[in-house]
Amino acid sequence: MVQKASAKLTDMMNQAIAAELQAIIQYQWHHVMVKGLHSSAVAEEFEKVSIDEMKHAEKIAERLFYFDVAPTIKPTPIAVGGDTTQMLKADVKAEEEAITLYKAIIKQAASEGDETTRRLFEEILSEEESHHDTFTTLLGQ
């Protein structure tokens, strides 16, 4: 028997995809647009994290598809531009929002007995916390 997820959980998972799509685009454009001292090192981090976010979106979409739910194609609002500090602050904010959402998804999945979704989001959460650490370190925080 195929497990069914609640509409609440699949809606939350689609919010996660929207956040991942935002991060993919936002970090990729920051990779392209960053200028100034140390910009090549920062650009490399933006690109690396953008690719990680693509992998997250794919895994979440595959899980939604398992539940016979179409993944969203609409990102949450994208913040691009400004100087390196502004870019990093926008990216820290995106990571913090993802971390909060993913903790809620983990709780919801656990409450439904959905161990696979819970484990998937625990894995992704760990990577998001690493991204947050990277961006805050680059900001000197």
- Any idea what the CATH number is for the domain that residue 19 is in? 1.20.1260.10
**If pLDDT is split at 50, 70 and 90, which confidence band does 99 have?**
very high
* CB contact at 8 A, 138 and 40: no
Read off the DSSP letter of residue 35.
-
Q: What is the pLDDT of residues 2-16, one digit of tens each?
A: 578 999 999 999 999
pLDDT at 59: 98
Query: Has residue 94 been placed in a domain?
Result: yes
Query: Has residue 1 been placed in a domain?
Result: no
Question: The pTM is what?
Answer: 0.94
Query: Has residue 2 been placed in a domain?
Result: no
| CA gap 26, 123 in Å, rounded | 22
**If pLDDT is split at 50, 70 and 90, which confidence band does 72 have?**
very high
Residue range(s) defining the domain that contains residue 65: 7-139
Query: Has residue 95 been placed in a domain?
Result: yes
Q: Which residues contact 3 (CB under 8 A, 6 or more apart)?
A: 67, 114, 116
